[in-house]
């Protein structure tokens, strides 16, 4: 769990077994020998078909965040198991982190920090930071996190904001008008026009490595790419090439395709990337709220209560 208060709730209502590392066979063996009613997992742990085959008593499984890309939801549905995601209580934290990465990349904060720490105060000479004021921000996706980013950047930096969405319906129009942002169904347009592009899309079969060399070639050489969504939505090799070839200026990355990344991950050789270890959504405030709600909702799901956070609720109804 992200916070001890969530664990405290679970410990009051159930006998809890905690696995500190993800070992598929160890989990399968435990499920085969014990009656388990529910499971909560955090990445990089996964719920695979083999684990689901061992879930003879499991009624509900919950991720510890909004994303469900580490759970085989379709197979869990076939098994009649409820799959929950955490509500979007970490939207503010993730939005603030995306903005922090934008600022860090535009202001070259990590580079200046390291050079100053090494006694190279003169590094400031000839190395200029870049302003956000009235530049164009492109958002890929327009969920709660992207909307908060738009609000911060519009009112904090007077940025011109363009947002890619797959469909434009009345509710989106209303939200876009309230935030004074432009909606488009052309992702090409966002990448071509923006000074900063921030990704806010889920990882699925359609978005896997969606952001690749095609889009990097469209970007301005001065542009910055930010990813606080999922690492798998970017082709990481193409991003490395784009930065090395100066097709784009900087990147801010909170998520990796494989987590934790290998020690020799190519991102780590580039000064052009600001990176953090998937911490965007785990502010102290968000972690506490998310852990408590996750624990409470899992207990409710095990007891058969209907919840909005059951991701496969409709599919399970259709099976029945």
* Residues with catalytic function: 230, 259, 278
- The rounded distance, in Å, linking the Cα atoms of 242 and 57 is 49
Question: Quick one: tokens of 149?
Answer: 């980013």
Cβ-based neighbours of 193, under 8 Å, separated by 6 or more:
136, 138, 162
- The rounded distance, in Å, linking the Cα atoms of 91 and 155 is 18
Phi-psi region of 230 (alpha: psi -120 to 50; beta: other; left: phi over 0): beta
- The rounded distance, in Å, linking the Cα atoms of 198 and 225 is 6
Answer yes or no: are the C-beta atoms of 320 and 81 closer than 8 Å.
no
Q: What's the chain's Rg over C-alpha atoms?
A: 21
- A 10 A CB-CB count for 35 gives 9
The CA-based dihedral angle spanning residues 154, 141, 254, 125, taken in that order and rounded to the nearest 10 degrees: -40
Where helices occur in the chain by DSSP H, the ranges are 4-13, 24-33, 49-53, 73-78, 91-107, 109-117, 144-157, 170-179, 187-193, 213-218, 236-244, 284-302, 313-319
- A 10 A CB-CB count for 164 gives 24
């Amino acid at each position: 769990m992200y916070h001890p208060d969530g664990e405290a709730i679970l410990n009051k209502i159930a006998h809890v077994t905690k696995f500190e590392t993800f070992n598929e066979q160890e989990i399968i063996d435990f499920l085969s020998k014990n009656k388990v009613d529910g499971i909560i997992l955090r990445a990089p742990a996964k719920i695979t078909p083999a684990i689901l085959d061992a879930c003879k008593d499991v009624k509900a499984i919950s991720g510890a965040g909004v994303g469900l890309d580490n759970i085989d939801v379709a197979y869990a549905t076939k098994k009649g198991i409820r799959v929950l995601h955490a509500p979007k209580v970490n939207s503010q934290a993730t939005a603030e982190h995306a903005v922090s990465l934008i600022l860090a990349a535009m202001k070259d904060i990590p580079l200046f920090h390291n050079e100053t720490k090494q006694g190279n105060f003169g590094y400031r000479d000839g190395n200029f930071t870049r302003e956000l004021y009235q530049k164009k921000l492109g958002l890929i996706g327009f969920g709660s996190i992207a909307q908060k980013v738009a609000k911060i950047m519009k009112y904090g930096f007077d940025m011109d904001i363009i947002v890619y969405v797959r469909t434009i319906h009345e509710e989106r129009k209303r939200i876009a008008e309230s935030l004074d942002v432009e909606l488009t169904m052309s992702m090409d347009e966002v990448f071509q026009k923006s000074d900063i592009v921030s990704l806010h899309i889920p990882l699925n079969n359609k978005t896997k490595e969606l952001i690749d060399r095609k889009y990097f070639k469209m970007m301005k050489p001065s542009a910055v790419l930010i990813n606080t969504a999922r690492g798998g939505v970017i082709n990481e090799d193409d991003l490395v090439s784009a930065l090395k070839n100066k097709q784009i200026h900087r990147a801010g990355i909170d998520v990796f395709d494989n987590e934790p990344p290998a020690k020799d991950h190519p991102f780590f050789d580039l000064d052009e990337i600001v990176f953090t270890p998937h911490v965007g959504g785990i502010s102290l405030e968000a972690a506490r709220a998310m852990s408590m709600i996750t624990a409470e909702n899992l207990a409710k799901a095990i007891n058969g209560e209907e919840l909005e956070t059951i991701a496969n609720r409709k599919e399970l109804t259709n099976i029945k």
